[in-house]
Amino acid sequence: MPVDETGFPAIFLPDFGTPLVRATASRIKSTVSDAIWGSLIIVDASKLENVDWPQLADYLAMVTLAQINPNGRPAGTDSILSLFSAAEPPGSLTELDRIYLRSLYEMDTMMLPYTQRGVFSNMMVRVHNRMEE
């Protein structure tokens, strides 16, 4: 599990509470980095109902690559993450999913956590604009 410079988890964990951010007047950057070397995903095929394999593959890729809480329920968004909760789920990764992943992997992960949110939001807008060109 990735941790920040204080040793606390650097990713969202359900029921872990509010993350604590400490900053100092220093040019030392956080050294948190992720490296996914492999992933083992177990799927209960009896619960898939009307989900086809390409949809499931995109859903699992999104949850794994973005380290998203798989129990979260996106409301009002067009995302593959709504595969199991939407009346009409998308057939594959949506444009929003692609923008999110591209922004996530283009972002400088050495920034302090409190600056990442704003930078990430701005980056999603820039990636969206680039994709439309």
Query: Which pLDDT value is given to residue 33?
Result: 67
Residue 14, token pair as written in the block: 């359900």
118 vs 65: CA distance, rounded Å: 21
For residue 59, the one-letter residue type is Y
Backbone angles phi, psi at 3, to 5 degrees: -125, 160
Span 72-129, pLDDT tens digits: 767 677 889 888 888 888 999 998 898 888 888 888 777 777 777 788 888 888 877 8
Q: What is this structure's pTM?
A: 0.67
Span 16-27, pLDDT tens digits: 555 555 656 677
Classified as helix, coil or strand, 1 is coil
